Amino acid sequence: MSTVGDEARPALSPGAAALRNHERDYEALAERLARRGQRAETVVDAVGRFAVAVPSWALGTGGTRFGRFPGPGEPRTLAEKLADVAVVHRLTGAAPRVSLHIPWDEPDDVPALRALAAELGLGFDAVNSNTFQDQPGQPLSYKLGSFSHPDAAVRRQAVEHHRHVIAVGQALGADAITVWLADGSNYPGQMSLRQSFERVLDCLRDVYAALPAGWRLFTEHKPYEPAFYATVVQDWGSSLLLAQTLGERAQCLVDLGHHLPNTNIELVVARLLGAAKLGGFHFNDSKYGDDDLTAGSIKPYGLFLIFHELVLAERERLAGFRPAYMIDQSHNIKDPIEDLLQTVDQLQLAYAKAQLVDHAALAAYQESGDVLLAERTLKDAFETDARPLVAEARRRAGAALDPVLAFRASGYRARVAAQRSGGGYVPPQSL
């Protein structure tokens, strides 16, 4: 399998002209930063340590409720998906792990999958459960909920599924489970608003008790969809309540698309950080709801402000700060690999810019109440063209200066399209 990943290799050596241009851009920026008392090297090192997990459900073209327009060469099997993730990792140097969705990507042979991943230089991040759909052969239906279902037998089935997901994750070397529940109601009166939360909490207690040593449980909130009247875990407050009640190893996951319009997400992040309950992220961007668009495509400043909070937490070595960074996007009309490459680049860029904040100056302006200069300190970092820093971090990691262009030049998509023809793989509908 490693030969599939190898196919992107020739494109990694940029042309001499591209490399020379990069070196000049990097030197010019390093000189500019030095005048501001900042070291380019420090930022390059930090960006070199940044890593984000790729979701197993994002290697095929996503879709909407209205249709799906698959492209050529989409992976048909989990092995082919891993090969694609290896390409994303090779080109960015920052995507070394896969986040599996079960049963969408239930491995047939767990040890073989683990060995294949290791051969490709990949590992496994948090595993994701799925009780938002009925699976073929499943005895009881989740139509009226899973953990919140009025029937205890359905709740037991859902808990059992989570135990299974944990067992698969453990065998793969993962160390966390993300629980996103679709549970909720579509009409007032459909369910008891208080009891449904209590039931969810009870089931999560069982899942929490089943966590292997060293594992964490992430609760992921979402305001609506598919429950349009009341979702049980609808906001970060509910998620925090669950995590605080469950115990130290339960933390909250923030999916950037799971907030009502105009929510100040960086403030949510700061609150969870302050409570040592920020477990991880699902990165994406959105204009209206859970749009699952490319990170940084709609609100790049918001993404930067979120990373600013994360960099502060890192610098202060905040207790409980060990965020699991994952992507959760639906590639509706872009090539999935290209969209992932663009996403990782945007995340690296937001992280690099957040490193450029003059923290001492910002703290001083906050103390003295200089609103304008405090804000401008953030803008100075955000408006810096940090692309040479990110490209340099990738170059040092043996990855590509420009991942998307390197991918196109590699011809990988055309080659796998030839190899993967006739596949019956149908990726899950986007949610």
Q: Binders of ligand RM4: how many residues, by CB under 6 A? A: 10
Query: Using CB under 6 A, which residues numbered 290 to 309 contact ligand RM4?
Result: 290
Whether 180 and 239 have beta carbons less than 8 Å apart is answered as no
- Select from 201, 186, 344, 217 the least CA-distant residue to 280: 217
Please select the residue that binds ligand RM4; options are 328, 338, 339, 392, rule is CB under 6 A: 328
- Output 290 or 335, the one with its CB closest to ligand RM4: 290
The reply to whether 282 sits near ligand RM4 by the rule CB under 6 A is yes
Binding mask 352-381 for ligand RM4 (x = CB under 6 A): ------------------------------
Please state, in angstroms and as integers, the Cα–Cα distance from residue 372 to each residue in 265, 304, 305, 353, 402, following that order.
Answer: 22, 18, 17, 19, 36
Within 121-209, strands assigned E span 123-124, 127-128, 176-180, 184-185
Within 227-283, strands assigned E span 230-231, 250-255, 278-283
Query: Using CB under 6 A, which residues numbered 106 to 135 contact ligand RM4?
Result: 128
- Residue 128: which of Mn ion, ligand RM4, none does it interact with, CB under 5 to 8 A by kind? ligand RM4
The reply to whether 255 sits near ligand RM4 by the rule CB under 6 A is yes
The reply to whether 402 sits near Mn ion by the rule CB under 5 A is no
The reply to whether 407 sits near ligand RM4 by the rule CB under 6 A is no
d(CA 110, CA 204): 25
The reply to whether 392 sits near ligand RM4 by the rule CB under 6 A is no
- Output 255 or 402, the one with its CB closest to Mn ion: 255
The reply to whether 105 sits near ligand RM4 by the rule CB under 6 A is no
Note the helical H segments in 173-250.
193-209, 236-246
Query: What residues contact residue 208 under an 8 Å CB cut-off, 6+ apart?
Result: 217, 246, 247, 249, 250
The reply to whether 281 sits near ligand RM4 by the rule CB under 6 A is no
Which single residue is written with the structure tokens 């964490």? 216
Q: How far is the CB of 285 from Mn ion (least distance, A)?
A: 12
Long-range Cβ contacts of 130-135 (<8 Å, 24+ apart): 130/101, 130/102, 130/103, 130/104, 130/161, 131/158, 131/161, 131/181, 131/182, 131/183, 132/180, 132/181, 132/182, 132/226, 132/431, 135/103
- Residue 84: which of ligand RM4, Mn ion, none does it interact with, CB under 5 to 8 A by kind? none
- Residue 272: which of ligand RM4, Mn ion, none does it interact with, CB under 5 to 8 A by kind? none
- Select from 421, 293, 330 the least CA-distant residue to 59: 330
The reply to whether 282 sits near Mn ion by the rule CB under 5 A is yes
d(CA 78, CA 264): 37
Q: How far is the CB of 225 from Mn ion (least distance, A)?
A: 8
Beta bridge partner(s), residue 331: none
Beta bridge partner(s), residue 216: 176
Structure tokens at 291: 């749009």
- Output 290 or 402, the one with its CB closest to Mn ion: 290
Q: How far is the CB of 328 from ligand RM4 (least distance, A)?
A: 5
Q: How far is the CB of 130 from ligand RM4 (least distance, A)?
A: 7
Q: What are the phi and psi torsion angles at 54 (to 5°)? A: -100, 135
Query: What residues contact residue 279 under an 8 Å CB cut-off, 6+ apart?
Result: 176, 216, 218, 243, 250, 251, 252, 253, 323, 324
Please select the residue that binds Mn ion; options are 84, 125, 255, 339, rule is CB under 5 A: 255
Q: How far is the CB of 193 from Mn ion (least distance, A)?
A: 22
Q: How far is the CB of 178 from ligand RM4 (least distance, A)?
A: 6
d(CA 333, CA 71): 9
Q: Binders of Mn ion: how many residues, by CB under 5 A? A: 4
Q: How far is the CB of 84 from ligand RM4 (least distance, A)?
A: 18
Which single residue is written with the structure tokens 């960006």? 47
The reply to whether 220 sits near ligand RM4 by the rule CB under 6 A is yes
The reply to whether 328 sits near Mn ion by the rule CB under 5 A is yes
- Residue 308: which of ligand RM4, Mn ion, none does it interact with, CB under 5 to 8 A by kind? none
- Output 101 or 331, the one with its CB closest to ligand RM4: 101
Q: How far is the CB of 140 from Mn ion (least distance, A)?
A: 25
- Output 125 or 290, the one with its CB closest to Mn ion: 290
- Output 58 or 374, the one with its CB closest to Mn ion: 58
Q: How far is the CB of 255 from ligand RM4 (least distance, A)?
A: 5
Please select the residue that binds ligand RM4; options are 124, 180, 197, 365, rule is CB under 6 A: 180
d(CA 88, CA 404): 10
The residues binding ligand RM4 (CB under 6 A) are 101, 128, 180, 220, 222, 255, 282, 290, 328, 431
Binding stretches for Mn ion (CB under 5 A) = 255, 282, 290, 328
